Structures are given as structure tokens and as C-alpha cells.
Amino acid sequence: MAFWEEKTLDQMTPAEWEALCDGCGRCCLIKLEDEDTGTLITSDVRCQLLDGDTCGCTDYPNRQKKVPDCIKLTPQNVVEIKWIPTTCAYRRLAEGKGLAWWHPLISGDPQTVVDVGVSVKGRTFLETDVDPDEWEEHAVDWPEWEPPEHL
């Protein structure tokens, strides 16, 4: 049995925990707040440290020093934070859904995350390249947030 099937998130080693990330980059997009409703909307603007092509953090060990609002996911907060995508491997496991077929640990290929539209690869703008006046135009709802299960 695979480790993610026999262990809870709390029981995983640091290496197992890190291996669960599908590398989609979705949690590293800037969130915008609707002034009227207070709702958080995910934008297509990426954190200054996110590589837009590999979707990896370019300074993972120092991320919280450089980006103070970078959230360190835990077995507890992954279900409490509303903007963590429903596709996120941690959220899925915490909610008892298991890993999706397109997760690299299941498919054996990181490209499947891109193929189903879950990865933000090549679809984002760098935070420091976006004019503050244009932020509103970058509020996207990522219509393909939840990929069809049959893909």
C-alpha cells in the first residue's frame, strides 16, 4: 500500500509530505479581495518567487522570510484555508478523496498535471510586472479549477 493510503497527513515524514505536492502552483497565486463582499478571488498573478514555467518556488527554504504571507501548509490548516484549491493533494487527502489519477504519484508523469489544466504553468503574470492599477483585470476564476474526472 502506498504511504498516502496507509498514513494520515499527521503521520507522514517530512519527505513524504513534500512528495505529495503535485507542483500545480495554484496556492502561489495572489488572492484579491472583492471590496463589496469580502470574497477572495484567485488571480492569474503569481508570487514573486514562483517560477512561471516549472511552477516551483525559487527559494523554498527561505520562502517565509522573503514572502511573509507565504502560508506553510499543515494537516490542520489545509482544510481550514478556503482558498486552498479543491484539487490540492493535501486537501484531497484531508477530505478523504485520495489522490486524483492525474497526480504524478499516480500517473508517474508530472505532465499530467499540466495536461488536465490543473497546473498554472505558462498562464500567469509575475507579481512585480503587474501595474497596481491593473490588478482588478487579473481576477480570474480559473474556470477549469476542478478538472473532469474522466480526462
Residues in contact with ligand SF4 by CB under 6 A are 21-28, 47, 49-50, 57, 63, 67, 70, 73, 85, 88-90
- What is the residue-wise DSSP string for 50-77? B-TTT--BTTGGGHHHHSTT-----TTH
- In the chain, where does DSSP find H-type helix? 3-6, 14-19, 63-66, 77-80, 89-94, 104-107, 111-115
At 125 the three-state DSSP class reads strand
Distances (CA, A) of 111 to 38, 48, 104, 128: 35, 23, 8, 27
Q: Taking the complex as a whole, how short is the minimal distance between the CB of residue 50 and ligand SF4, in angstroms?
A: 4
Taking the least distance from each CB to ligand SF4, the nearer of 26 and 121 is 26
Taking the least distance from each CB to ligand SF4, the nearer of 63 and 121 is 63
Q: Taking the complex as a whole, how short is the minimal distance between the CB of residue 144 and ligand SF4, in angstroms?
A: 14
Taking the least distance from each CB to ligand SF4, the nearer of 7 and 52 is 52
Taking the least distance from each CB to ligand SF4, the nearer of 22 and 121 is 22
Q: Taking the complex as a whole, how short is the minimal distance between the CB of residue 68 and ligand SF4, in angstroms?
A: 9
Contact 110, 25 (CB under 8 A): no
At 27 the three-state DSSP class reads helix
Q: Taking the complex as a whole, how short is the minimal distance between the CB of residue 39 and ligand SF4, in angstroms?
A: 19
Taking the least distance from each CB to ligand SF4, the nearer of 47 and 116 is 47
Q: Taking the complex as a whole, how short is the minimal distance between the CB of residue 18 and ligand SF4, in angstroms?
A: 9
